[in-house]
Structure 1
């Protein structure tokens, strides 16, 4: 007797070479599609959908873009039938490991010679953020990087960068030069009037403390805007 058309065939019933785990063992990790890799993380689907089909459905909902998928919260992933909290956490943890690996693969400069150097250092920290953050790079007189510091976190439309906190942090680290940086989750690189006003205020205050604001960069995805490059400092 044949199975009803609606009844799905589970992964265990597939040919061994088509099962994600077995396929990885036999052919290597590069042979698997994104959906198959996610299916291994999920482990199991439901009575009506295999883990691979569920993974395909999740990816399709986000244009098959792992970058978009990595921005999801646990709650957003749990909206998919078949994904509980534990599976959602597993997916998020795996994508975060991938992001961190990418971060370590880029050799970071020990000194800041241009806006691109600052971008390379900070871009991984802004990756996939749906809210704004404000960071500073603290440098010595030779533009050697002393440290990077997260100053504040905000919402989608902005965050507060308190000059008092910024200069207090710089003085504590004996920094002479500062690079300001924040992100625009909207993807728009154009500085707001608040960005321009803050940069001018910071530049004036730095001069009084015998410090220098070398740049203020705005990061949006893989692109950046440099106040220094645009001669706005």
Structure 2
């Protein structure tokens, strides 16, 4: 009876790990990189074949895969808890790498700058997060912080906490940002109300709210650009 060869029986140049060492990371497909993370497949599939099936399930979209939790990955035969954790950790490292890159841009001059700054943090998340960017008089970034983290449909915002951090950092202005995991970029009535609430409270402390940016996958909406502030 014919038995499918395992990865160990492949030609050395075709094995993902050896291929990475001899030809570099850029020579590997996404399935091969994923195969290195999971190490082994199952009785019917090699690690590479299993990786291809996992990627095909999300239309080969790594951003979509990064939104999946461990319970989703565990549905694939051959993926146990340890392998699921490896995949999730690697995807999170990729997200943080993009986040660190965003920190290079320290001056925010328009909504596009703000969206570029926040997109690495928020565009791939399966849940909603609300962040605040603190700026000085020259619109240079002082700091950023997450105000709240919630479910798919919303978060709870503590205005007092936002002002506390802004005053501690001597911020002159704020840019608010949150994501819509649904991909719907439109501002809801709740979004408009909380923005106005934060704006009114900040003005009492002589702090300006310059914008509220909504990140929805590869799109964004700016309250400032839309005349909603």
Where on the TM-score scale, by shorter chain, does this alignment land: which range?
A: over 0.9
Structure 1 segments (4+ residues) deviating >4 Å: none
Of residues 151, 155, 165 in structure 2, which corresponds to 1:169? 165
How far 1:117 sits from its partner (Å)?
1.8
Q: Secondary structure at the match of 1:64?
A: coil
CA–CA separation in structure 1 for the residues paired with 2:31 and 2:106: 39
After TM superposition, the score normalised by the length of structure 2 is 0.92
Structure 1 contact 132–154 (Cα < 8 Å) conserved: yes
RMSD value, Cα: 1.7
Matches within 5 A, 1:48-67: 48-67=44-63
- In the alignment, does 2:117 pair up with 1:121? yes
CA–CA separation in structure 1 for the residues paired with 2:10 and 2:203: 69
CA–CA separation in structure 1 for the residues paired with 2:33 and 2:139: 43
Structure 1 contact 108–120 (Cα < 8 Å) conserved: no
Structure 1 contact 131–156 (Cα < 8 Å) conserved: yes
In the alignment, what sits opposite 1:185? 181
- CA shift digits 1:34-64 (9 cap, x unpaired): 1111111111112222111111111111111
In the alignment, what sits opposite 2:8? 12
CA–CA separation in structure 1 for the residues paired with 2:23 and 2:200: 61
Structure 2 contact 123–215 (Cα < 8 Å) conserved: no
- CA shift digits 1:141-177 (9 cap, x unpaired): 2222211111011110011112222112212222221
Matches within 5 A, 1:1-233: 3-4=1-2, 7-106=3-102, 108-233=104-229
Question: Which piece of structure 1 moves more, 202-211 or 122-131?
Answer: 202-211
How far 1:15 sits from its partner (Å)?
2.4
Distance 1:170 1:103, change over 3 A: closer
Larger radius of gyration: 1
Long gaps (5+) in structure 2: none
Structure 2 contact 95–121 (Cα < 8 Å) conserved: no
- What is the aligned residue count? 229
After TM superposition, the score normalised by the length of structure 1 is 0.91
Structure 1 contact 108–121 (Cα < 8 Å) conserved: no
